[in-house]
Amino acid sequence: MESKFSRTLEEWKNLASKELKGKNSDSLIWTTPEGIDIQPLYTENDLKGLDHLNSLPGFSPFLRGPKATMYAGRPWTIRQYAGFSTAKESNEFYKKNLAAGQMGLSVAFDLATHRGYDSDHPRVSGDVGMSGVAIDSVEDMKLLFDEIPLDKMSVSMTMNGAVLPVLANYIVAAEEQGVKAKQLKGTIQNDILKEFMVRNTYIYPPKESMKIVSDIIEYTAKHMPSFNSISISGYHMQEAGANQVQELAFTIADGIEYVRAAINKGLQVDDFAPRLSFFFAIGMNFFMEIAKLRAARWLWANLMKKHFKPNNIKSMMLRTHCQTSGVSLTEQDPYNNVVRTTIEAMAAVMGGTQSLHTNAFDEAVALPTDFSARIARNTQLILNEETGITKTVDPLAGSYYVEALTGRLISSAEKLIDEIEKLGGMTKAVEKGIPKSMIEESAARRQAGIDSGDITVVGVNKYKANEDSKFDVLKVDNNEVRELQIKSLIKLKNNRDDQKVTESLNKLTEGAKKQSSNLLELSVEAARNRATVGEISSALEKVFSRHEASYSGVTGVYGNELNKNDNYIFVKKTIDDFVNKNNRKPRILIVKLGQDGHDRGAHVVASAYEDLGFDVKVGPLFQTPEESAQMVKLYMPDVVGASSLAGGHLTLIPEMIQYIKNILNKNILIIAGGVIPQEDYEKLEEAGVDAIFGPGTNITDAARRIIGLIEQRPDKSDIK
């Protein structure tokens, strides 16, 4: 029976047109970065032909959630990601947070550890303890979890490159706490494919790295039945600029590749697939993120069934951790970040995440303080305890908009996954650099949208605050932490049996030559003997080598998006005038100092500057200050742009400047960019930095200032 309130879609369009003063309602259609047209109104008609409707939570394909009762039965786990400085300080921070309502631990390691270097290695002088906790040995790991019972606590560890020594140290630390491996609960990220795409904290080449992944899956399946052997991560893809279709498709495709690698190792799919987990970013497109998590569960269940035919229903069940977006956080007007994180947390929960990390408002510039971490944690507690969100399973199910959007994401991701399959799978695609190139193009397009004002970021390019917000920033004394770690290493090496260490490391090196060996098993033995993270990594490096990536930039995207922007046109003309006057382009060398592999910002800047008319050279990742100075000598740029994202700027950039001064007697301009707190600006300027561009800087504005600095330079005669 037709309702007395029934109206036709045509009647609505006519009414809408009147409200729009004659414009068609189609003028309200918005096209997302994923290429999906978002309509102003959705109706029952938009659900026709969708395959995913009418499912129930707890049943395959799990679109509405992996558990029947979801949060009505048990809320998501509050799992805040943290780690800084020393193991002792991180331990104190963890215990404080657990007492305040946090339910699980998620460990952030410093970059030296990620890259398989001990704290005394000369390449990591500016990285020790700066963006996570420094772990050199079992002794550090024991301190990290002191008075935290590992048989009861679920522990997630974000580790990929040095995954073998870190996981081995964790297993041995638990042993010496009296906890057996089979009792351990938690997750190791162990997702190396995305490292080659976006995050770059790899050590070994892709093929060798995939052996490590499969060995860990094999070992945990046998000895750690309650532990998740891998967290297949889309988070870092979105942080690097991927749109949600790319994040969804590449993450699921990575998962399929890992399953194949484990099966090729000789495992049965049901032996390990139930312990696979996922990790997604949650950004500011609220409904898109909700639909993405629902689509991910549908895709995983159907692709697992199609390719591997598991008997255990849990092998098809996608379980995920989520983290609110880091790239959406802004240095400008930073208290807005509290609101952003809340909105993103709501999207994660509405989408059905199993655990969640909420970023602190100050993480645009530094590690969180106790104050900001409490607000971030309490955001989840309030959502859980005060809103009623947990009372109903998948509360947005049946929404015309959400269901239609879920369907579009499924079909769009399927097309991209099919393209990857035709290439021979994700490893082949990664080796060819295809996902990385697609993500960098997406990042450049988004940055152009922000710089042009087409994409609004409140407080950055619209509704700007009249004055800067002041807040305390957590400071880590890099030199002090490094000295403490070096003392611990000396003590460790003085008190161990060197013969046993050497024997276990030799076994590891030999094991790396054999496909049949299990490298985690051999790493556990080495860790018991007190071999360090750096020593275990080096033992494998003798066979595997250390991977070096090459840069191939994306050009034309930024310029095409901004070619009608007045500011862009003005800056491009200014640079053209420089070219005409000097018979050459202005030259900029962009260097990445230290062991931070996040290259999104550097590559977006590089591609934008190329479009503006600069001659751009991008140095390799993981450079020391001296290596960067040698590149300056080789290329003789007008300006050096040093990228810093991991807190090492006060050590590494001044060192680079001093090396440049020692090598050259030239007037080279130095700029710094990235995550740099404003209170550090003065020290950097005193060290010789000519300009600093923090997060959220408009690239065209920065280029305008740089070309001005080049023109104003007192002595330009030495640059040919």
Catalytic residue among 572, 592, 603, 649: 592
661: annotated active-site residue? no
Beta strands in 276-352 (DSSP E): 276-282, 320-324
For residue 6, the SS3 value is coil
Q: Tell me the residue type at 537.
A: S
pLDDT of 422 over the 50 cut: yes
Read out DSSP for 123-179?
A: GGTTTTTTSSB---SHHHHHHHTTT--TTT-EEEEE-STTHHHHHHHHHHHHHTTT-
Pair of tokens at residue 641 = 């742009």
pLDDT value for 715: 55
The Cα–Cα gap between 87 and 481 comes to: 10
Cβ atoms of 277 and 224 within 8 Å: the answer is: no
Catalytic residue among 596, 599, 638, 680: 596
Q: What is the pLDDT of residues 373-397, one digit of tens each?
A: 899 999 999 999 999 999 999 999 9
Q: What is the pLDDT of residues 655-675, one digit of tens each?
A: 999 999 999 877 789 999 988
Mean predicted confidence (pLDDT) in 444-450: 94
The Cα–Cα gap between 68 and 58 comes to: 4
475: annotated active-site residue? no
Of 194 and 667, the structure prediction assigns the larger pLDDT to 194
pLDDT value for 4: 66
pLDDT value for 287: 98
User: What's the length of the chain?
Assistant: 720
Mean predicted confidence (pLDDT) in 193-200: 91
| Burial status of residue 615 (CB atoms within 10 A of its CB: 0-12, 13-18, 19 or more) | middle
Alpha helices in 231-268 (DSSP H): 235-239, 244-264
551: annotated active-site residue? no
Q: What is the pLDDT of residues 9-62, one digit of tens each?
A: 999 999 999 999 989 999 999 999 999 999 999 999 999 999 999 999 999 999
| Burial status of residue 564 (CB atoms within 10 A of its CB: 0-12, 13-18, 19 or more) | exposed
The Cα–Cα gap between 40 and 533 comes to: 55
Catalytic residue among 142, 236, 585, 603: 236
The Cα–Cα gap between 395 and 44 comes to: 18
Mean predicted confidence (pLDDT) in 539-562: 90
For residue 359, the SS3 value is coil
81: annotated active-site residue? yes
Task: Name the average pLDDT for the chain.
Answer: 92
Cβ atoms of 322 and 277 within 8 Å: the answer is: no
The Cα–Cα gap between 281 and 237 comes to: 8
572: annotated active-site residue? no
Q: What is the pLDDT of residues 667-696, one digit of tens each?
A: 789 999 988 888 889 999 999 999 999 888
For residue 107, the SS3 value is strand
596: annotated active-site residue? yes
Number of Cβ atoms within 10 Å of the Cβ of 590: 25
Residue 720: which residues within 8 A CB-CB, separation 6 or more? 584, 636
Residue 61, preceding bond cis, omega within 30 degrees? yes
Lowest average pLDDT, out of 202-216, 225-239, 472-486, goes to 472-486
Cβ atoms of 613 and 572 within 8 Å: the answer is: yes
